[in-house]
Structure 1
Amino acid sequence: RPRGYGGVAILWREDIKHLIERLEEGSERIVCVKSKKNFSKKSKPHKQKNTHIWNDEIALALLNNKKALFNWKEDGKPKSGKSATLRKNSRSELRRARRHEIARQRDEKYAEIMNTRSGDTKSFYKLINNQRKQGKTSIAEIIVQGKVYDNTAEEIIKGWNEHFANLATPAATPEADHTNREADIDVIMESCLDDSIPISFSVLEVQNAINKLNKNKSPDIYGITAEHFIHGGPDLTVALTKIINNICISCVIPDYIKMGILSPIFKKKGLPTDPKNYRGITVLPVIGKILEILLKEHLWQIIAAIQNQFQRGFTSKISPLFCALLLNEVIIDAVYRKTPLYVALLDAKSAFDVVNHSSLYRKLYLAGISGSLWLLLHDLSVGAQTSVRWENLVSEPFDIKQGVRQGGILKHRII
């Protein structure tokens, strides 16, 4: 009789007795059995990722790849030869098709955001929400002007504060003379003070401005959200109307309305350790947003009359695609006529971050904006401060001496 079986006791339930088969091997002391069914734990079905990455080109490439794989196995899995080459090429073609579809969907998403009319901020917040859903970019350090900030969130937020404070401060240029520019602002301010007619708003106008606020957004630095005003009732609206009208009469905006909280948002390109690859989105006080919505209506009445008819960016109810259509038709016509065509594309780097305040408000005055409206717009930037928020920490505030903050209602109109 065979020997060498170990002494192992196996117990099983009565209801599966019919699945146990006794073997002839063994002895008087040892009984050998086997199961008629595999009781191993079934693995969970693998859920394929990125199932949304699909089109007809990928389907055809996948079919060709399966055929090439089958033929390669039939040939004995050779390392070279026709079947091996076809398998390699079909696999490369499948990967290429997937990359093209991923790039197409990415470009389509960016185009949707860029082509949205300025009056609709849904896509603007869509970009922010997508960033939050994907999780914040986890970094162990940032490098600001050659200096490394690392190890702790307290140290990193110092780096963020230095980076954005530098952006908000004009570069020192000793050879530049801004005397005339600053003198122009003084003259413009005196002229606007002499000609100012107080702007006033009704309770209905303020209520309509409140209704235009975006819901379910982050609270401002004081913990106030749009919902506080939307559901605050008529008494709150009346009180807010009085506050706003008093601000408009004095043409002086309190500093607490100009205090913002900035969150760095990674642009999904470049090194995460380089702060230049982040966009600073600022959450401003809700009261300030309501005031900006009210002023925007007055500002647009003037801008709409002087704006170039071919201006498409930041224009209500008009998409930049209209301008792209004109350019596309010109290119097609030049190709058809076989005539040379020269196209110049200009992109202003950090246009929102480094625009000079004096130059900006002088340009607004020359565009026809004067009186109380100019004084209020100008005072929005005087004494404005911003703090950086990073991983539940808030930095010390710094002064905004240049640029317009991304997240403000009026930033597109002013630029």
Structure 2
Amino acid sequence: MKIDKTTTQLVKIYTRPNWAKCDTNIYTSTLKLELECKSLRKESSVEERIKFLVNSIHKAGKKSIPKYRQLKSLKTVGKDIWNKKISQASRESKNAHTLWKKKINSQQNADTEKNNLTIKKGKLRQLQRQAYATRKENFINDIMQASQKDSKTFHKLVKQQRSKHDTNTDILYIGNQAFEGENILSAWQKHFETLGTPNFDENIFDLEHLKLSKLQNKIILEQDLQNKEITKATPTEIESAIRKLNTGKASDENGIVSEHYIYGH
């Protein structure tokens, strides 16, 4: 991975385990030994048992996979508007400043270097302004194209509208109606009233999913009222589900991926 030298921050991440180098015998035996430990008691809470399981999985991974989940620092080229052109212009501006400073320190004529530094700084500021303008233009286009189903864009707008950021939208469309200035607040009120009102139009609502959800809730309620125990999943069903898991996916908050289960069952 090539990292730009004009970095602004360090990000620490855990490297993904190389499952191709996993010793499955060591992994399964270590995991089995850990799970048979007396610490996994039935009287312990669910949270404690989950924590114990996570620790056992990682312990087995460390023993069976070389360089398992090592903490690595990555350099990034910054946030927001930073891009390759701005990075290059920033580097050239710094180099021009270094040359100008050397001439000044050696008490030589630095008019040429000063002019070059001014040009480089101007180019850098120009690229920054262009990047800000492009970002704002893209943001406005997102607003124009946002629909009622596009909750991600609307939540983004809500967050920015409440902040003091200088990219707050000047106009907002709800359907075919435009809202500007102080009326934007009314637009949000109208939008969230619409979101809070159930709409069972089959063109925008999954009626089949609603029907199945209600049926499932009804069955669970009936089972609970009749004090009937819900049948637990069998080991065969669990193993079948594990075999169907997709690999190569991102880990959860505990650092667990599907391979942890696939290699351990």
TM-score, normalising length from structure 1?
0.23
* Structure exhibiting the larger radius of gyration computed from Cα positions: 1
Whose helix fraction is larger, Structure 1's or Structure 2's? 2
TM-score, normalising length from structure 2?
0.35
